[in-house]
Amino acid sequence: MEREPRNMENQAKETQAKKMTRREMASWLGRAGLALSAGSLLETSAPAAKAPVAGPVTRSIAAPADPMHAMDEEYGVPTGPPQQVAMLVYPQMAALDLVGPQTMLASLMDMNIHLVWKNTHALTTDTGIGILPTTTFGNCPNDLTVLLVPGGSDGTLALLQDRETLDFLAKHGKTARYVTSVCTGSLVLGAAGLLRGYRATSHWVVRDQLALWGATPVAERVVQDRNRITGAGVTAGLDLAVHLASLLRNDKYAKALELNFEYDPQPPFRAGTPAEAGEEITGMLRAIYSPFVEKARAIALSKTSRSAS
């Protein structure tokens, strides 16, 4: 008669072990950003997850059990403290330049993402979407794995002449493992003195201006030169983020991200470059961007002439 309680006790332990394994699996998938519901992996009696609180996006949990540890190793997840990513945010920036890479990089395990600006007041992007900075320049971590600058138009022009922001980028750009940008954000890196002697790209309408900042313009979607990684216009931020994922984790992890977000671009018209769009459409956009292009050029020439004198 004594065996029955022991059997029940053993069965309870086995059930608990299975529950923990499922929880560990759910945590791993969640950290990887895979679009699976943890509720489908846990017993219905498991408590609901708490809503996230404001602050840096964090993908870090306690050390997993051996099966999860093996998966971490297979997908290149590093050991040690979470890696730190600082993404500059600023008024009138291009929203997609930030949101695309942020979505991808926030899905990397053991990663803290900081949206950095002079203060933590809400700001408005070029399309009216509000962004809430999570960290100020003064509180930004010094041990950055990635420093990223998104682009814009009027917002970018303001940054090219913003000494506080340029000093912040110059400081952290010296020590960050990777210094990156999307679209016209590379002009800002150039103004901060971080692209001199490097190959780089930008939005096609201002790519040639990188030469004014001492860089070598390259007409490619993503350009890496040592630890400088620059993306072309707007949507290239997704390509840049996947490239970063392969560097920070491994190719298998990056492939999993592509599949998870079903990143399989198939634009209806294949008009995403001047060559594909043709002279008429390209000329129309050049005319629209002409005031921005001329202002950016004037700022660059003014700054480079002053530094030369």
Instruction: Count CB neighbours of 302 within 10 A.
Output: 12
Question: What backbone torsions phi and psi does residue 119 show, to the nearest 5 degrees?
Answer: -145, 180
Is 183 catalytic? The answer is yes
Residue 149 host element (H or E):
strand 144-149
Q: Which entry of 77, 157, 176, 183 is annotated as an active-site residue?
A: 183
Q: What is the 3-state secondary structure (H, E, C) of 240-286?
A: HHHHHHHHHCCHHHHHHHHHHCCCCCCCCCCCCCHHHHCHHHHHHHH
Count the residues in the chain.
Answer: 309
- 112-118-124 Cα angle (round to 5): 85
Burial class (CB in 10 A: 0-12, 13-18, 19+), 220: middle
Q: Could you give the CA distance from residue 179 to residue 195 in angstroms, rounded to a whole number?
A: 9
Residue 274: CB partners within 8 Å, gap ≥ 6? 204, 282
Q: Which residues of 82-116 are buried (b: 16+ CB within 10 A; e: fewer)?
A: bbbbbbbbbbbbbbbbbbbbbbbbbbbbbbbbbbb
Kindly list the catalytic residues: 183
